[in-house]
Amino acid sequence: KVRSMLDISFPPKEEDTSNGVAPKLGVEASIEHELKYRVSANNTDARPVKLYQSVAWSVHDRLVDAFDQTQAYWKEKDPKHIYYLSAEFLMGRTLTNAVNNLDLGGEYAEALKKYGADLETVATGELDAALGNGGLGRLAACFLDSMASLDLPGWGYGIRYRYGMFKQGVKDGLQVELPDYWLDNGNPWEIRRPETQFKVGFYGSLEDGKWVPGEEVIAEAYDVPIPGYKTKTCGNLRLWDALAPEEFDLEAFNAGDYSKAVEQKRRADGITAVLYPNDATEEGKELRLKQQFFFVSASLQDTIARYLEQHKDLAGLPDKACFQMNDTHPTIAVAELMRLLIDEHGLSYDDAWAITTKCVAYTNHTVMPEALEKWPVRVLAKLLPRHMQLIEQINSNWLDSITGHVTAKVEAELAASDAEKQKKAAAAAEERKAALVAAEAKGEEALAAAKKVVSEEEAAEEKPADKATLVEEKLKTYSIIQENQWTKGEMLVNMAYLAVVGSFAVNGVAAIHSEIIKTDIFPHFVEIFPERFQNKTNGVTLRRWLAYCNPELSALITEALGTDEWVRDATLLAKLKPFAEDAAFRARWREVKQQKKKALAERIREQTGYQVSTEPMYDIHVKRIHEYKRQYMNAISLIHRYKVLKEMTPEQRAKAVPRVVVFGGKAASAYYMAKKIVALILSIGETVNNDPEIGDLLKVVFLPNYNVSEAELIIPAAEISQHISTAGTEASGTSNMKFALNGALIIGTLDGANIEIGENTGFENLFIFGVKADEINKLREDRKNFSDYDPRYTAALQMVSSGVFGRPEYFEDLVASITDMNRGNDWFLLANDFASYMDAQDAIDELYRDQEEWTRRSIIYTASNGFFSSDRTIDQYAREIWNVQPTPQP
């Protein structure tokens, strides 16, 4: 701890534990108080943002009470805690969630009447906290909500990026990236903790085995209270900011070199400045590794410091702390925990290893090779020399520990494959012996000739493979440190392997994904520790993703079930099933959907200028833009749809099923193809939406800046949603769950959690198409000879190339990536899946004509997917991995 001089204790507590003025005031008075004193706006000029700020500060004070009480209670009870280490927490807005989780919705609504405002409008004054890219970061946010709601002692640990996920704009038909300075209006949801600071070192050297860092920064804590749903429990998300040492050490600053201090400050600022905007692709930058180590080191030091306040012996740490590593991003935790235990706390290597491997668990979120982090030994050794040394030791112990196993495996393989060869060799040897005997009988000359033949034959004989070499070769496939397969001679640290070796549990995020990681990514580790591998199918919080983003549908559900308990216990949603058969209920269900479509249409007009009707089917495809997610295939299908509509007679058009197709999603700023996909969708929209012949029959909208708040508006309005990744590539997907719970039907592949959604909903209710995951490898091999192009596909691509949508040269590479066998080679198999995708699309149109059946299915989706509540997921983590118990306040 750096700031020990500030560790002064509070004055003794009064009976009333509320520690501020505002909570003693009623809601209405507290808003007024904040408006006047914190935000400095009088009632009459309270503009929306200022009103938001005062309401937020008023809620903040109530959160702080809940937070202090929970944390004090947990400190006293000292239960085991889960620490969720994640480089990303995609929180979105907080106000609505906090007010409703605290069960203060009614009171705040009432108080706001005075200002002629409602909570929903006031809430739009808040900027999203977008400290994450997509699914992985949003999952972490859902998990925090569920941990608190289940009264589980747990904290999230991450980075307080000053710039979150970039804002996406559209200019001249292209994506542009704008900085996201989300702290612009202050942040009422965080509490700065200047008293909680830790030193984090980088670079330097090892002197007598001791690490002497060449650079040091200070990690300073910010706490974000996480209110559970209708419980006293309020968890914590602790985010770290980086300060230069001189910033707190005034004396050194004054005595030292001013320009050096400025340089140090600049370097420290850089660490927490900005989130890397890549989703599921690796960013091999040293600064990224610095970010990872920075937050991991601070979090581990913090946990150990708090543990040691109450316990003497670190051997007990595994009974009090579990660190869940969200993907490989925090994997340096394995080495850092070892270093802290050995170098800072004097434990032996073996004792430290025993503790570490009981404290750390790892979640894998992807099988995409480009997302599996591998840090060059050169980079790691420079930035973290002691950690590199420890990783080498971990690796050599690991390889030693399995040499017996690998040797036995090699022996078994040799035995099997050589048994045949040896038999043959023995027979040949017998023959030669006989030949020699025969030759000897014939005299000297014959014997010499025969000996010559025999020695030639013996030389030609296949020697049994050298066991030692084979063992060595095989061991390399288990090694945490491996040679780069592209850059010979460069050694890499495979962070996923380090995570598996250092963890007591490894899990995937959907059933199929957890199988694929066992067969394709870690099969050799499964041999050694089969019991280590688990599945924890993802989930989403029903608070944010149903109750609060769709209050209209929620009210209807609550009315039908006669209780709102389903918000806490999602399995109760199953009781909605019979209502699918009730025509009056279906009509009301449709009415709600219609209302949400209207809100989305309004948003589309605001953001794009396009006027869309609320009558057509709303078909939504929102997620990060990636080749594997195949927004491109959807775009091609829309070109075909446009072409068909153009070719129709007026009579035929009158019978067509109109659609509004909405795309949203960000392309990583350096992802060349993804940006072209965005441009293609924009161009298609430009052409189609302005074609008077088409009118309301088809609108193709790219809604810019898809983020958590946009998702809360978009998802409730969806009638069909698209989850069409190449089978085997999407680990889980989580928006599929949100759409299903909001009664949108799914068109999708047998990939990720789509499969389990199908199992729960009944596959007959989904529009499933495409090849299966176990066919992919073979199909990829066969691509070179692929000739079976669907004529619709070819014609649509021809339209792109011939400039129907403008800029044909700009789209050349994109077209080539799926048609030219030397450029991209259709790695994600669009050509293979296109025809069955179109069949599924036809089935959708057909079903939509039958609104009663469509609505029936919509209700069934909501009723069937309570399983995908993150409360269920977190309950499984708590029981099956963490061994953490609910610890509610009485």
- Of 53, 507, 550, 734, which lies in the binding site for ligand Z15, with binding defined by CB under 6 A? 734
Total site size for ligand Z15, rule CB under 6 A: 19
Are 539 and 139 a contacting pair, CB within 8 Å?
Answer: no
Helix (H) or strand (E) holding 65: helix 48-77
Token readout for 869 is 């509540």
Among 34, 220, 730, 756, binds ligand Z15 (CB under 6 A): 730
Residue 733 is a binding residue for ligand Z15 (CB under 6 A): yes
Establish if 104 lies at the interface with ligand Z15 (CB under 6 A): no
Q: Beta strand 617-622 with 154-159: parallel, antiparallel or unpaired?
A: unpaired
Query: Do strands 191-202 and 205-207 pair parallel, antiparallel, or not at all (unpaired)?
Result: unpaired
Question: Which of the residues 38, 624, 640, 723 is marked catalytic?
Answer: 624
- Determine the Cα–Cα distance for residues 860 and 765; give it in Å rounded to an integer: 9
Distance in Å, CB of 538 to ligand Z15, minimum: 5
d(CA 782, CA 796): 23
**Dihedral in degrees, nearest 10, Cα atoms 130, 132, 135, 140:** -100
Q: Please identify, using beta-carbon distances, which residue of 136 and 347 lies nearer to ligand Z15.
A: 136
- Check binding of 708 to ligand Z15 (CB under 6 A): no
Nearest to ligand Z15 of 92, 227 (CB atom): 92
In the complex, the smallest distance separating the C-beta of residue 730 from ligand Z15, rounded to whole angstroms, is: 5
Identify whether the C-beta of residue 132 lies closer than 8 Å to the C-beta of residue 90: yes
Q: Tell whether residue 96 is a contact of ligand Z15 (CB under 6 A).
A: no
Active-site pick, 33, 238, 544, 629:
629
Tell me whether residue 175 or residue 366 sits nearer to ligand Z15 (CB atom). 366
**833 lines the binding site for ligand Z15 (CB under 6 A):** no
139 binds ligand Z15 (CB under 6 A): yes
Work out whether 135 is an interface residue with ligand Z15 (CB under 6 A): yes
> Can residue 241 be called a binding residue for ligand Z15 (CB under 6 A)?
no
For ligand Z15, the closer of residues 25 and 368 by Cβ is 368
The piece of 248-256, 429-437, 728-736, 827-835 that touches ligand Z15 (CB under 6 A) is 728-736
Q: Is 217 helix (H, G, I), strand (E, B) or coil?
A: strand
640 is catalytic: no
631 contacts ligand Z15 (rule: CB under 6 A): no
With 0-12 / 13-18 / 19 or more C-beta atoms within 10 angstroms meaning exposed / middle / buried, residue 63 is buried
Q: Smallest distance, Å, CB 881 to ligand Z15?
A: 15
What's the closest the beta carbon of residue 776 comes to ligand Z15, in angstroms? 16
Q: Which of 86, 96, 175, 366 binds ligand Z15 (CB under 6 A)?
A: 366
- Pairing assessment for the beta strands 505-508 and 720-723 based on DSSP bridges: unpaired
Burial category of 344 from C-beta neighbours within 10 Å (exposed 0-12, middle 13-18, buried 19 and up): exposed
253 forms bridges with which residues in the sheet? none
Closest approach of ligand Z15 to the CB of residue 555, in Å: 29
CB 535 to ligand Z15: min, Å: 12
Question: How near is the Cβ of 321 to ligand Z15 at its closest, in Å?
Answer: 23
> Quick one: 136 or 500, whose CB is closer to ligand Z15?
136
Q: Which stretch binds ligand Z15 (CB under 6 A): 302-310, 460-468, 724-732, 778-786?
A: 724-732
538 lines the binding site for ligand Z15 (CB under 6 A): yes
Q: Which of 47, 28, 32 is nearest to 109 (CA)?
A: 28
In 3D space, the residue among 344, 339, 303 whose CA is nearest the CA of residue 321 turns out to be 303
- The answer to whether residue 365 forms part of the interface with ligand Z15 (CB under 6 A) is yes
**What gap in Å lies between CA 546 and CA 167, rounded to an integer?**
25
Region of 122-130, 243-251, 347-355, 364-372 interacting with ligand Z15 (CB under 6 A): 364-372
Q: Which of 63, 509, 521, 625 binds ligand Z15 (CB under 6 A)?
A: 509
Restricted to residues 310-329, the positions that interact with ligand Z15 (CB under 6 A) are 327
Nearer Cβ to ligand Z15 (231/734): 734
| Closer Cβ to ligand Z15, 218 or 371, answer by number | 371
- The interface region with ligand Z15, picked from 132-140, 162-170, 338-346, 423-431 by CB under 6 A, is 132-140
Q: Tokens representing 394? A: 């971990």
**Collapsing DSSP states into helix, strand and coil, what is residue 193?**
strand
| 79 binds ligand Z15, rule: CB under 6 A | no
Concerning whether 738 is annotated as a catalytic residue, the answer is: yes
Residue 82 C-beta-side C-alpha neighbours within 13 Å:
32
Counting Cα atoms < 13 Å in the Cβ hemisphere of 738 gives 32
In which residue are the tokens 């709601």 written? 149
Contacts of 829 (CB under 8 A, 6+ apart): 726, 771, 776, 779, 780, 783
Closest approach of ligand Z15 to the CB of residue 309, in Å: 34
CB of 626 to ligand Z15, least distance (A): 8
Could you tell me the two tokens for 589? 């269900």
> What is the distance between the alpha carbons of residues 164 and 181, in angstroms, rounded to a whole number?
7
As a whole number of angstroms, the distance between CA 544 and CA 643 comes to 40
Residues 6 or more apart whose CB falls under 8 angstroms from that of 603 comprise: 703, 710, 713
Strand-pair partners of 177? 168
Task: Check binding of 494 to ligand Z15 (CB under 6 A).
Answer: no
Instruction: Select 135 or 318, whichever has its Cβ closest to ligand Z15.
Output: 135
Q: Which is nearest to 858 in space by CA: 717, 660, 728, 723?
A: 717
Which of 478, 512, 483, 484 has the alpha carbon at shortest distance from 496?
478
CA 263 to chain centre: 34
772 is catalytic: no
- Is residue 352 a contact partner of residue 334, using CB atoms and an 8 Å limit? no
The beta strand positions in 24-147, using DSSP E, are 81-85, 89-92, 129-131
Which region among 363-371, 545-553, 798-806, 856-864 touches ligand Z15 (by CB under 6 A)?
363-371
Considering the rule CB under 6 A, would residue 731 count as an interface residue with ligand Z15? yes
623 classed as catalytic: yes
Cα–Cα distance for residue pair 91/137, rounded to 1 Å = 8
Question: How is 664-709 classified by DSSP, letter by letter?
Answer: E-PPPTT-HHHHHHHHHHHHHHHHHHT-TTTGGGEEEEE-SS--HH
Considering only 79, 92, 125, 134, the residue that binds ligand Z15 (CB under 6 A) is 134
Region 740-769 residues binding ligand Z15, contact defined as CB under 6 A: 752
Is 705 a binding residue for ligand Z15 by CB under 6 A? The answer is no
**92 lies in the binding site for ligand Z15 (CB under 6 A):** no
**Amino acid type, 368:** M
Residue range at the interface with ligand Z15 (CB under 6 A); choices 257-265, 707-715, 727-735, 761-769? 727-735
- State which residue, 90 or 660, has the beta carbon closest to ligand Z15: 90
Contact 150, 874 (CB under 8 A): yes
Is residue 664 within the footprint of ligand Z15 (CB under 6 A)?
no
Q: At what angle do helices 385-442 and 467-478 cross, to 10 degrees?
A: 150
Residue from 136, 498, 573, 847 touching ligand Z15 (CB under 6 A): that is: 136
b (16+ CB within 10 A) / e for 191-217: beeeebbbebbbebeeeeeebebebeb
Minimal CB distance residue for ligand Z15 = 135
280 contributes a contact to ligand Z15 by CB under 6 A: yes
Angle of CA points 764, 768, 773, to nearest 5°: 125
**Least distance from C-beta 364 to ligand Z15, angstroms?**
8
Q: Which of 738, 792, 856, 857 is catalytic?
A: 738
The least CB distance from residue 593 to ligand Z15, in Å, is 25
Looking at the Cβ atoms of 55 and 332, the one nearer to ligand Z15 is 332
Annotated active-site residue in 365, 675, 676, 699: 365
Min dist CB 490 to ligand Z15, Å, is 23
Query: Residue 87 Cβ, how far from ligand Z15 at the closest point, in Å?
Result: 9
Query: Among 858, 659, 839, 852, which residue's Cα sits nearest to residue 765?
Result: 858
In the complex with ligand Z15, the residue whose CB is nearer, 589 or 867, is 867
| Binding stretches for ligand Z15 (CB under 6 A) | 133-136, 139, 279-280, 327, 365-366, 371, 509, 538, 730-734, 752
Residues catalogued as catalytic:
365, 623-624, 629, 734, 738
